Structure 1
Amino acid sequence: MVWFGINMKNGSKSSWIILSGAWLIIFSLYILLQTIPPLLPLLDKSLNISHFQGGLLYAAPLAMIVIFSYPLGYLSDRIGVFRAVKFGVTIAVVAAIFRAVSRVYYQLLFFNLIFGVGFAWCYPNLPKIVKNYFPPRLTGTATGIYTVAIPLGSAVGIGFSKLVCEYVGSWQNLFLFWGIFSLLSVVFWWFLTEKLFNESEKSSKFKRQEKKDIFSIDISSWISKTLEVFTSIKILVPAILLSLLNLVFYSTLGWMPTYLIDQGWQPAVSDAATSFITFVEIPAVIIIPFLSDKLQKRRIFVYSFFFLISLTLFSLLYHSGLFVWVFSATLGISFGGVFVTLLTISAEVGEKTEVGRSAGLILSMGYLGALMGPPVIGYMRDFSGMFAGGIMLLGFLSILAAIIGYLFKY
């Protein structure tokens, strides 16, 4: 089978099935994550919360990614991909379903935090799957394939949640609806891939980390490897860039519906314009990895797209109407291009047996920005009564990221 001129047989049949399973998991998790932004106006009224609290609610799972991606990535290196994802996705989906029983803000916040812990356990294993099951020449392509699930899941969560909410009657029922959908997806993934994972990890090609006693940790070795990871420029620079990207991306995605409503847009149209960003990401995360694999020059995509993001955000302040749809498309292409390139880089760093921890650190640091962005922009909106200052801040941070991406080698 040939895809964009690439012979897919360079990865085994089981590898592509495992990657498809990873796609399904991340698609489901991103639907669950991105149900919050379109519900923020409703939650603000229903739970009587501020914009800052709404931003904090959206950022809660991202906080767990920041805190737990590295230690859970390290644990995943020891117990194996399947068991790590199995535990992580189970925690995430169960917590997501329990969001439906929330009646006050802090209950919803608590279950969102637990959902984030499960998410954080799954996430570092995606680059690990690519590293373990695909040859280096397909790193970008395989990363691009599973990354498609991220904007697509986000688009479904943002674009359809309000419509589904109207149909099922309440935001609690909406959480239950998406939770059950994700539970069915997890069950399907489990039966689809368990045997394949077990067969692959029994083969001589892989070091069976899960045979180790996960509690028998050499502390001095762990400290040494941790310091090595934390001081590697090849890891730190992508982590900083991912942090800046996520700060801008999640702030934009989280508050754009509310910003457009402030500008006089109808809620359904503002949600559509925001979800359009994530739909347009899809072709970007397919095409950009293919190009970067061919050119073997990933940095140029990073700093070029960051600069384009800054121009688009500044332009958003001075134009409205149909221009917003153009800006959404530009942001979607740029966000997707940078994101998939940085994920590809995270899969290339480190040995196969250590990808979990290196990718975990990149994701942990990378989602600091996602954690900080929405609450800060929400606070600026509460303080000033408008989003203009927040949008300008995001534009300047994008310029900073472009400069870092251009100056440093990684």
Structure 2
Amino acid sequence: MSSSTEGSVRVPSYRTLLLICCTVCFFCYFGSYMRIPVVPLFAQSLGADTIQVGLINSSFLLMAGLLSLPLGILSDRVGRRILILSGLLISCCSSFLFYYSRTPVQMMLIYLFFGVGLAAFAPTLMSFVADFTPSTHLGRSYGWYTTALYGGMSLGPAAGGFAGQWLGFPPVFLLSGTFILLMVFVAHLFVPRAHQVPAKRPRKRAIRIMAGELLRNRPLLSCWMITLGGCFGLGMFVTFVPLHAQEQGLNLGQIGIVFAAQALFNALSRIPFGYLSDRVSDRSVLVVIGMLCFAVSMAGIGFSTHIFQFLIWAVILGISMGVAFTALGALISEVVSPDSRGLAMGGYNTCIYLGMMLSAVIMGIIIRETGYARAFLLTGTLNLIPLAVFYIATRRFIIWKSSVNKPED
């Protein structure tokens, strides 16, 4: 991989920067998600009841959802590097603090602290990827990046569960913190400062002006809306498929296979469909196709009664998310100005976390009243509403983009 120089400053190449971001992203999420299967069990061992376990698990989603937007704005003002390093350091400290926690309340406070780190890290690194990526390569960049992200999110819980069974709960937190601490050093050494990144850096505008502009940006708002709907569905899958599948006679190992199938196809589909989104003239078409398949698969999961039915719909769900969300990330970077990307990605991440949290809170009540099949069908149907809004809102942007890129006679 080659790199150019500007004066005496070494400028990393696009491929080098993407490799750095994917490495940091993978191991940060791998380390953070090692704790996912361990935290509820550790909390129970400290005397937490079911309600307290639910509050602990949802606390970091709440904090990340609330802070992703303002911290995304902050990254537009102070730079990406300092927010990336701060988020990694907070995430690292939260793992080590779990090792010393002795009450459920302490665990809840630590997870809230972790939510701050996640809000600082996640939207900022996504924005940084868009900063150095050529506009013709946005789809493939987000394909590789989100593959690293979902790879870490998928392998982390498996590694954490194995380590917890072998070593016990507290050592998992030490391993988690060590992985993330290594990424603090990697980011400090290899994530360049703003003047070393080969990106166009426009003049910074007032936050009030940018916020007003984005709130009038219908394509962006529709991207946020469809993200909220999709992650509402993802939260439904993550939270209630284990209970639904168990009710249909699947054992714990089979449920794990269903989750692994969704995660594997979700991750692997992002690279080829990322390249595809760079080749099509209208990325929104991939979003529409992906979300239509997503809605159908949610309904299919609700009516599944056998492991093979669960597996088929889980695979379709994973592929549909890979198609839709890879194109969606690239599209968000296109519909906003470069100096607003942190804000835009902050809103995107806010929708991810709030969507998953709202699903866990609301759909439990719906399931109690209607059952799993109707609740999953309702979730899939509800996703058609933001999909319709997205399709209408992005038409004008695509027409404008086509007219701008149209060669003159």
Q: TM-score range by the shorter chain?
A: 0.7 to 0.9
Offset at residue 233 of structure 1 (A): 0.6
Letter in 2 for 1:152: G
State the superposition RMSD in angstroms: 3.0
Partner of 1:213: none
Question: Which deviates the most, 354-363 or 386-395?
Answer: 386-395
C-alpha distance in structure 2 between counterparts of 1:104 and 1:298, whole Å: 48
Return closer, same or farther for 1:246/1:361 CA change in 2, 3 Å cut-off: same
Query: TM-score by structure 2 length?
Result: 0.84
Contact residue 127 and residue 359 of structure 1 kept, 8 A: yes
Offset at residue 85 of structure 1 (A): 0.6
Contact residue 262 and residue 317 of structure 2 kept, 8 A: yes
Contact residue 24 and residue 189 of structure 1 kept, 8 A: no
Return closer, same or farther for 1:73/1:40 CA change in 2, 3 Å cut-off: closer
Offset at residue 32 of structure 1 (A): 4.6
Letter in 2 for 1:396: T
Letter in 2 for 1:336: G
Offset at residue 35 of structure 1 (A): 4.3
Letter in 1 for 2:187: W
Partner of 2:264: 279
Residues 351-377 of structure 1 show CA distances to partners (whole Å, capped at 9, x for unaligned) of 222211222223324432122112323
Partner of 1:259: 244
Partner of 1:82: 81
Partner of 2:380: 395
Q: How does 1:7-406 map to 2 (within 5 A)?
A: 13-35=12-34, 38-39=37-38, 42=41, 45-46=44-45, 47-50=47-50, 53-170=52-169, 172-193=170-191, 196-197=192-193, 200-201=196-197, 205-206=200-201, 221-319=206-304, 320-380=306-366, 383=368, 387-406=372-391
Partner of 2:407: none
Return closer, same or farther for 1:365/1:305 CA change in 2, 3 Å cut-off: same
**Which runs of 4 or more aligned residues in structure 1 lie more than 6 Å from their structure 2 counterparts after TM superposition?**
none
C-alpha distance in structure 2 between counterparts of 1:40 and 1:263, whole Å: 27
Return closer, same or farther for 1:314/1:154 CA change in 2, 3 Å cut-off: same
Return closer, same or farther for 1:315/1:257 CA change in 2, 3 Å cut-off: same
Return closer, same or farther for 1:307/1:36 CA change in 2, 3 Å cut-off: farther
Offset at residue 322 of structure 1 (A): 1.8
Ranges in structure 1 where 5+ consecutive residues have no aligned partner: 2-7, 210-217
C-alpha distance in structure 2 between counterparts of 1:102 and 1:272, whole Å: 32
Offset at residue 286 of structure 1 (A): 0.6
**Structure with the larger RCO, 1 or 2 (CA within 8 Å, 6+ apart):** 1
C-alpha distance in structure 2 between counterparts of 1:403 and 1:206, whole Å: 35
Letter in 1 for 2:49: I
Contact residue 70 and residue 364 of structure 1 kept, 8 A: yes
Return closer, same or farther for 1:250/1:100 CA change in 2, 3 Å cut-off: farther
Return closer, same or farther for 1:317/1:77 CA change in 2, 3 Å cut-off: closer
Contact residue 231 and residue 351 of structure 2 kept, 8 A: no
Return closer, same or farther for 1:300/1:260 CA change in 2, 3 Å cut-off: same
Contact residue 313 and residue 394 of structure 1 kept, 8 A: yes
Offset at residue 198 of structure 1 (A): 5.8
Residues 154-211 of structure 1 show CA distances to partners (whole Å, capped at 9, x for unaligned) of 11123333222111222x3323322222222332332233xx436515x7954697xx
Tell me the secondary structure at the aligned position of residue 367 of structure 1: helix
Letter in 1 for 2:278: D
Letter in 2 for 1:284: S
Offset at residue 56 of structure 1 (A): 4.1
Offset at residue 329 of structure 1 (A): 1.0
C-alpha distance in structure 1 between counterparts of 2:31 and 2:200, whole Å: 35
C-alpha distance in structure 2 between counterparts of 1:41 and 1:60, whole Å: 13
Return closer, same or farther for 1:388/1:158 CA change in 2, 3 Å cut-off: farther
Question: Which deviates the most, 293-302 or 389-398?
Answer: 389-398
Partner of 1:5: none
Query: TM-score by structure 1 length?
Result: 0.84
Offset at residue 328 of structure 1 (A): 1.5
Tell me the secondary structure at the aligned position of residue 373 of structure 1: helix
Letter in 1 for 2:219: K
C-alpha distance in structure 2 between counterparts of 1:32 and 1:395, whole Å: 32
Ranges in structure 2 where 5+ consecutive residues have no aligned partner: 5-10, 398-409
Residues 227-278 of structure 1 show CA distances to partners (whole Å, capped at 9, x for unaligned) of 2222211211101111111111133123333433343333233223213211
Tell me the secondary structure at the aligned position of residue 193 of structure 2: helix
**Among 393, 396, 403, the residue aligned to 1:408:** 393
C-alpha distance in structure 2 between counterparts of 1:39 and 1:56, whole Å: 15
Letter in 2 for 1:16: R
